[in-house]
Each structure stands twice: as C-alpha cells, then as structure tokens.
Chains A and B, each alone.
Chain A
Amino acid sequence: MLYREAGDFKTNYAADQQTFPIKSERWLFWAFMAFAFFVVPFFIDDYWNKAVLMPLLIYAMAALGLNILTGYCGQVSLGTGGFMAVGAYAAYKLMTSFPGMDMFSVVILSGAVTAGVGILFGLPSLRIKGFYLAVATLAAQFFLVWMFNKFAWFYNYSASGQITAPERSIFGIAVTGPSTAPWATYLFALSILFVFAWVARNLTRGRLGRSWMAIRDMDIAAEIIGVSPLKAKLSAFAISSFYVGMAGAMFFANYLGSIEVTEAFGIEKSFLVLFMVIIGGLGSILGSFLGAAFLVLLPVLLKNIMVGYLGWPTDLAAHFQIMMVGALIVIFLIAEPHGMAQLWRLAKEKLRLWPFPY
C-alpha cells in the first residue's frame, strides 16, 4: 500500500529519470533528510556524535569515493588509507598556512590536492590490471604513510610527530578544534556529504559514469567503441581520491582533531573502507551508505552487548569483534555478493507487489 507507482504519472523525461521515481520513496527520503538536518542536531550529544554519527558520515564519504573507483570503474584500490592521509595532511597545512580560510574551502581544497596525488598513483592503472593493480596501490598506501612520518615539514616540525587541528570556523561557528559543539561538526559533515553524494549520483549516471562502467565491464571492448581508457581511468582515480581526501580531511579536522599517521591511516583503514564498499554493494551510491553504517554500527553494538551487557573484558570483546566482522563478510559474500544495496532492491521489488504477489 505504501509503496506503489500506480497513479504516479510521469509527463516528461526528466521526471522519469529522477533518482527516486516513486512518490512514497521520494517522500521517505526527504522526511529522512529533514529528520537528519532539523531534528538530530537538537538531540545530539557528545557520545552519539563521536561514536556513531561522525564516523558514519565520514566513512560514508570515503566509501562513496572508493565505490566510484572500485564499484563503477572496476579498479581495485588498497590505498584508501594513504589517500585519506593526504587529505588530512593537506587540510592541516592549509589550516596552519592560511588561518583566515573557512573550513568548507579547506575540505574542498584538501580533496583537490588528494585528487592530484590520486592521478599520479593512478597512472600505473593504464598498464596493469586486476590484482597486480591492487598490489600497486599498496605502494601508494605504504609510501604516503612513510612520507608523512618522515618529512617533518608535513607536521610543521612538531616534536610528537602528531598533527592537531587548530580552531577554524564556518559562518562564525567553530567546527574544528577542542571547543566545538557536537551539532556543529555533525551538521558540517552532513551538509558536505549531502552535497557530494548528490554530485556523485549525478556523475555516475552521466556520460562520465557510463564511460567508467564501460571500462569496468570490459576495457578492451570499451576502448573499441570509443571510450578513452586514459580519460576514464584517470578521472575515476581523481574523483575517487577527491572524495577520499575530503573524508580524510574531515576525519582529522572535525572528528579526531589530532592524529598520528601510522595509527590513523594504516592499511587497516584501506581494508575497512573496502569492506564497506563490498558489503554495501559495488557500484551503488546507496550501498556506500549502507556499508558504512553497517561497519560503523556493528562494532558499537557488539561492544555494548559484550562489554556492557555480558561483562566480558574489552580485549576479549575486541578479538570476538574482529572474528565476527570476518565471518559476516564471508556470509555476506556467500549470501548476497552484490551487497546490501541488492537486498534493498529486492525488498523494494517485493514491497511493490505486497501483499498480492501474483
């Protein structure tokens, strides 16, 4: 009853091609957005902000970026952690070199810097493919982390080797530094994510997105029908790194405030984001969000159950959690290799016909 297309007539092409073609779905989406933008900020507290919402938004952004590269263009990357580090350090250098710059510009420019680095490390993709490329992106991961550790210029010669975000604001409201309100950082991250998710959605269904998908499905065939692999692959690397870089910048500046590169942006981060993309669904915008939500919420939930409810020691709970995540990934791959987005799609198909499927 709730989810019907009957009576929902489209009179022009644009209306037919919109992201949410069914009215109830559109309503649901906007209601959810209104809730996220206008209700959550009034009730948010520090725990929810730091433990759930900020990681969720930031990882969703990173997953979105990786999904563009891996899901849409078919280039497996294990260098996400390294690219996030580029974003974080670019943000740090921008914040300390230009104190007057507002935070929005800082995040965008950090993304742009990361895009440049992404193109550089995307160059090998023109020659090598598949697993060989995945290993090649590991070079980016290890090299970038090493570089930020080794050259003191990147962390402004601080004694600890850490970088700490100074207070920067947008519209006069502090969004980085120690004295921020939870709602301010939350709304900041949410707004950026909202805008760029919209951009990603429209990029992926446009000409560029189609050329990526052609390369993913079969690169030689795509080349023959006139898709330039050079342009498609490098643009995928650039745009993907742009998103990942913004995620890294926010991860550092808005979320943690102070980081040490090997700890924050190690190889585990690359795998985590890759898992999000896989579990969420390769080649799906919604999937990036679902995957990020799943892998951010699951540990919080498991920890609350095992430590809070069963009273286990935390190290035991941590081991159990790693095991659970591993098992869930395998289960997901067996049960639904196309991820949670596919489950949602199937659920929608069922819902359209419910309760009379014949």
Chain B
Amino acid sequence: MSPAFLNFVEIVLNGLMTGVMYSLVALGFVLIFKASGIFNFAQGVMALFAALTLVGLQTGQVPFSHLINAIFGTEIHHWGGGMHTVFAILITMAVMIILAFLIEKIVLKHLVNQEPIILFMATIGLAYFLEGAGDLMWGADVKVLNVGLPSGGSFWWEDVTREWASTGSEYWGMYIDKLDVTATVIALILVTVLTAFSQYTATGRALRAVADDHQAAMSVGISLRTIWVIVWSIAGFVALVAGIMWGSKSGIQFSLSLIALKALPVLILGGFTSIPGAIIGGLIIGVGEKLAEAYVGPLVGGAIENWFAYMLALAFLLFRPQGLFGDKIIERI
C-alpha cells in the first residue's frame, strides 16, 4: 500500500475517533431535547463542571477556598489527602444528580410552556452560572485529569502499519492515541446501555412516551417533572463521561466547555431528535473535519477546523432542513 493511502486511512481513523468524542457531547443534547424540547446550551459547561468537580475531589481541594480565603483572610486550599478515583466519580455523579434536581426545581419548573427560544436563553444563563460557579469552587487554573485510562500513541499499531507500506517507501507507521480508542469503546458501551435502558426499563419507556407526546404521557400518569429530573441526571452522567474523556485528552480548562459548540453542527447534521443521528453526525463531522484540514487546509492557510464543521452542516441543511435523521418538519397554519 502506498504511504499516501495509508495517510488517508490514518486521517479517517483519527477523524472517526474524534467524531465519537463529539457524539458523546451531542448525546447529552439529544437526550434533553427529546424529553423536554429544551435545547440545552449548558451541556458543554456541565461537562466542564463535572470534570472540575471530579479533579477537585480526587486531589482533595476545598471547594470555594479562594472565596473563603478572600472573605475570612484564611489560607486554606486542600483538606489533605485525595480520594480514590472510583469514589470521586461516584460523588461527582451524585453532585450532577443534585444539580439536575436543582435545575428542575429552580429554573425549569417556572418556564414550562414558554417559547423554545426563552428556554434556550435560560440554558445559556445556566451555562454562565455554572461556568462562574465551577471556577469559583475549584479555581480557574488548568488542571490535569488522570483517572488511569491508557494514553499516548500505540507502538504496536505503529509497527503493524509500518509493515503494510510498500517496501522502500519512507513510512513510519500510523499514530493512534490509546485514549481515543478507549473513548470509542466507552462511547459504544454508553450508547448500548442508554439504548437498552430506554427500550427495556419502565423508566425508559416513560422517557420515550414523554418524548413522543408530553400531554398524552401526562394523561397516563407519568410525572413530567420526575422525568425531567431523570433526563437531566442522565445528561449530567453523559456530561461526566464526556468531561472525563475530553479532560484526560486535553486537560481541564475553560475551553472544555467550548466542545458544546462543536457538538452543534453534529446535532444539526444528525437531527436534534435522533440518538443514532448524533452518532453518525459526529462521525461525519469528525472525518470531514480531519480530511478538510489535511487536504483543503494547506490551500487556504490552515486552521479551518474551527468553521469547517459548520459549513458542512450548513451545506447539508440546505438539502435536508431537518437534519439527516430528524423528524420531518410539518408546518400548518
């Protein structure tokens, strides 16, 4: 095989795995949108918040230490000794569930029956609040997250692929990050679990019923508010997983919350209401982005990754305004 072709394969593989990471974030959006019709802009910040909390617990930081120091003039920062990763993850999950509960109690309850745009704005406000709260609680410095996932390039794969290249050509093997592979596996497990949950459990059926028709669901005795808390908790869980993956990959900092913006083109490609859409949209965006960066980027000066996904999604939208897998838009007077 020629090196050019192997390069192409490498780009596609890396694109697919980046796409899976995008899908992870997009999944959270789809879950909430399906169940409550809310476009939750705070999903990215929820991932950031979850990751910050996880690291804070792991390293044993005192929450709000800066604030306490500023008010009382004390010098506290750590309470000595961290926490085992598994405990930290469990407690973070508990925090996300409490957060979901509070969001429903304080914000969403009062906004029932408002226009979608108002709900969307409320989640942007929520995003700002969580961003400020996360920084206030755990500090704004860049943190390293290590939950013991394998990372770094895979030498074994490099050796294998070097054999594939035709002899005499200068090819040094493909670079595949072990973390990306792990993320892909975890994402696959997550999707399987979520699908099984929504297909085979009573709660899952209730979720699907609410997604189908709010009023009909309520009329058969499903509590909308409980469902909302459950959905936001699940979205919080997905955010935690996404936060762990992205945080291990590139450190925990503010830019983590911007992955939400990357998930948007994925969503409009796949359609807001389809879980398989989120996955396939993510894969298309991931591959398209990497290919464009590699083959079109050099022609126009590079760094087109930032907007290419949007343009790709826009081009798709012009032909299918509801996304690839979205529900057909029917308009009536």
On A, residues with C-beta under 8 Å from B are 76, 124, 127-132, 134-136, 138-139, 142-143, 146, 149-151, 218, 220-221, 224, 267, 271, 274-275, 278, 310-313, 315-316, 319-330, 333-334, 337
Most A CB within 10 A of own CB, among B70, B116, B126, B265? B70
> Which of B76-84, B150-158, B242-250, B308-316 forms part of the interface with chain A?
B308-316
Q: What's the minimum C-beta distance from A136 to chain B, rounded to whole angstroms?
A: 5
- Of B111, B136, B302, B318, the contact of A333 (CB 8 Å cutoff): B111
Docked Cα-Cα span, A221 to B67, in Å, equals 54
- Does chain A have a CB within 8 A of B133? yes
- Of B70, B111, B135, the contact of A313 (CB 8 Å cutoff): B70
Most A CB within 10 A of own CB, among B124, B311, B318? B124
Q: What's the minimum C-beta distance from B127 to chain A, rounded to whole angstroms?
A: 7
- Does chain A have a CB within 8 A of B217? no
- Of A134, A143, A220, A326, the contact of B130 (CB 8 Å cutoff): A326
Docked Cα-Cα span, A325 to B130, in Å, equals 11
The 0/1 profile, CB within 8 Å of A marked 1, for residues 298-333 of chain B is: 001111101100110110011001110000000111
| B268 and A135 form a contact (CB under 8 A) | yes
| A146 and B129 form a contact (CB under 8 A) | no
**Would A329 and B128 be within 8 Å (CB), given that A127-B318, A136-B314, A323-B133 are in contact?**
yes
6 nearest A-B residue pairs (beta carbon): A323-B132, A326-B128, A329-B125, A326-B129, A139-B310, A322-B132
| A135 and B310 form a contact (CB under 8 A) | yes
- Does chain A have a CB within 8 A of B272? yes
Q: What's the minimum C-beta distance from A117 to chain B, rounded to whole angstroms?
A: 15
- Does chain A have a CB within 8 A of B122? yes
- Of A76, A124, A311, A320, the contact of B117 (CB 8 Å cutoff): A76
Q: What's the minimum C-beta distance from B302 to chain A, rounded to whole angstroms?
A: 8
| B140 and A319 form a contact (CB under 8 A) | yes
| B333 and A220 form a contact (CB under 8 A) | yes
Docked Cα-Cα span, A135 to B265, in Å, equals 7
Q: What's the minimum C-beta distance from A227 to chain B, rounded to whole angstroms?
A: 14
Q: Which residues of A contact B261 (CB under 8 A)?
A: 138, 267
Q: What total of chain B residues lie within 8 Å of the partner, measured CB to CB?
A: 54
| B311 and A139 form a contact (CB under 8 A) | yes
| B140 and A315 form a contact (CB under 8 A) | yes
A-B contact pairs, 14 of them (CB 8 A): A127-B318, A128-B317, A134-B120, A135-B264, A139-B313, A139-B314, A149-B303, A274-B124, A278-B121, A315-B140, A316-B136, A326-B130, A327-B129, A334-B122
Docked Cα-Cα span, A337 to B122, in Å, equals 10
12 other A-B residue contacts (CB within 8 Å) besides A124-B314, A136-B314: A76-B117, A131-B268, A132-B268, A135-B267, A135-B310, A220-B332, A316-B70, A323-B133, A326-B125, A328-B125, A329-B124, A333-B122
| B304 and A146 form a contact (CB under 8 A) | yes
| A319 and B314 form a contact (CB under 8 A) | no
Docked Cα-Cα span, A274 to B124, in Å, equals 10
Most B CB within 10 A of own CB, among A134, A139, A323, A329? A139
Docked Cα-Cα span, A221 to B331, in Å, equals 10
| A327 and B125 form a contact (CB under 8 A) | yes
The 0/1 profile, CB within 8 Å of A marked 1, for residues 37-73 of chain B is: 0010000000000000000000000000011001100
- Of A149, A271, A313, A330, the contact of B122 (CB 8 Å cutoff): A330
- Does chain A have a CB within 8 A of B167? no
**Would A143 and B311 be within 8 Å (CB), given that A131-B39, A323-B129, A330-B122 are in contact?**
yes
Q: Which residues of B contact A76 (CB under 8 A)?
A: 117
Q: What's the minimum C-beta distance from A68 to chain B, rounded to whole angstroms?
A: 16
Docked Cα-Cα span, A325 to B125, in Å, equals 7
Q: Which residues of A contact B132 (CB under 8 A)?
A: 319-326
Q: Which residues of B contact A324 (CB under 8 A)?
A: 132
**Would A131 and B122 be within 8 Å (CB), given that A313-B66, A322-B135, A323-B132 are in contact?**
no
- Of B115, B118, B306, the contact of A146 (CB 8 Å cutoff): B306
**Would A325 and B128 be within 8 Å (CB), given that A135-B267, A136-B317, A316-B70 are in contact?**
yes
| A138 and B301 form a contact (CB under 8 A) | no
| A143 and B129 form a contact (CB under 8 A) | no
